[in-house]
Amino acid sequence: MIFALPLISRTLGLPTGVAGAWIGTSEFADAAGFAAAETYGSYAGHVPGIEGHADAAVNAFTLMKVIGRDVWIGIWALVLSIIATTRWEETSLTGRADYGEIWRRFPKFVIGFLIASLVTTAISHGYSFSEYKASVVPKLVGPVRDLRTWAFIFCFFSIGLTTRFRDFSKAGANPFYAFTAGVVVSVILGFILSTQVFVGFWTEIGQ
> Is residue 93 scored above 50 in pLDDT?
no
Residue 185 counted as domain residue: yes
Alpha helices by DSSP H, listed for the chain, are 4-12, 16-26, 30-41, 54-62, 72-83, 100-105, 109-124, 129-131, 142-162, 165-171, 174-192, 199-205
Residue ranges making up the domain that contains 188? 4-125+164-205
Confidence bin at 192 (pLDDT 50/70/90): very high
CB atoms within 10 A of CB 57: 37
Residue 158 counted as domain residue: no
Q: Are 202 and 58 in contact (CB under 8 A)?
A: no
Residue 131 counted as domain residue: no
Convert the pLDDT of each residue in 2-44 to its tens digit. 888 899 999 998 999 898 899 988 866 777 788 888 888 888 8
- Separation CA 147–CA 175 (nearest Å): 34
Number of domains in the chain: 1
